[in-house]
A and B are shown apart, each in its own frame.
Chain A
């Protein structure tokens, strides 16, 4: 299994440009999430999905869109990039172990985005 993959690894955008960060997992996990990591702030949840066709907002959703048309893919779209979106973006997938409410997390390698 490749696990969770993200592309691209690095990206530089100009203010106002749009782009899509790709995330895919081959573990048949039902849950997928996007986080951003900024210095001194820890990871913050942008959007998440509990299954194909179902998405919801996290803590910092403004300026981002997501969709989940398949179990495997969960792309993150930046509609009009702003310097405040300069960050490292992580995609994660998870599944529920057994009957309990605990979810083992698997992270992608991250995408480092700079908006100038």
Chain B
């Protein structure tokens, strides 16, 4: 069993829909990261959180440390949100352990 599990693996939505991607982990962590990888391949950091909730534009990330679970929400989804979303955890220091990613496709 992977230390970081994401669901779903693939997600197709219609423009405007509310989207949720889930991440569960099995190790103690100092932080959890949500990353975005566009079709061109580049990876950007969306959020880093160790408790509570963070919001940036239409993206919201939450974490429940007791349940070892995090969610990434996208409100009013748009085709430009189509990408792979990756959950990663820092068990310690700067090293990351990654989930396999969720491929999101938003159709117009």
Contact = CB atoms under 8 A, between A and B. Distances in A.
- Do A and B come together as binding partners? yes
Interface of A: 31, 33, 35, 40-45, 48, 50, 58, 88, 90, 92, 94, 96-97, 100-107, 109-110, 112
Contacts of B101: 42
A101 B95 contact: no
Given A88-B41, A107-B42, A109-B41, A101 B92 contact: yes
A101 B30 contact: yes
A104 B41 contact: no
Contact of A101 (B33, B41, B88, B93): B93
A31 B93 CA distance: 9
A107 B44 contact: yes
B77 to A, nearest CB: 23
Contact of B33 (A33, A96, A105): A105
Given A100-B50, A102-B30, A102-B31, A50 B93 contact: yes
Contact of B45 (A31, A40, A96, A106): A106
B35 interface: yes
A-B pairs, 3 with minimum CB distance: A102-B31, A31-B94, A101-B30
Given A33-B95, A109-B41, A41 B30 contact: no
15 contacts: A35-B96, A42-B2, A45-B97, A48-B95, A88-B41, A101-B93, A102-B48, A102-B50, A103-B48, A104-B45, A105-B94, A107-B42, A107-B43, A107-B44, A109-B41
Contacts of B93: 31, 50, 101, 103
A73 to B, nearest CB: 17
Greatest chain B CB density within 10 A among A33, A48, A96, A105 is at A105
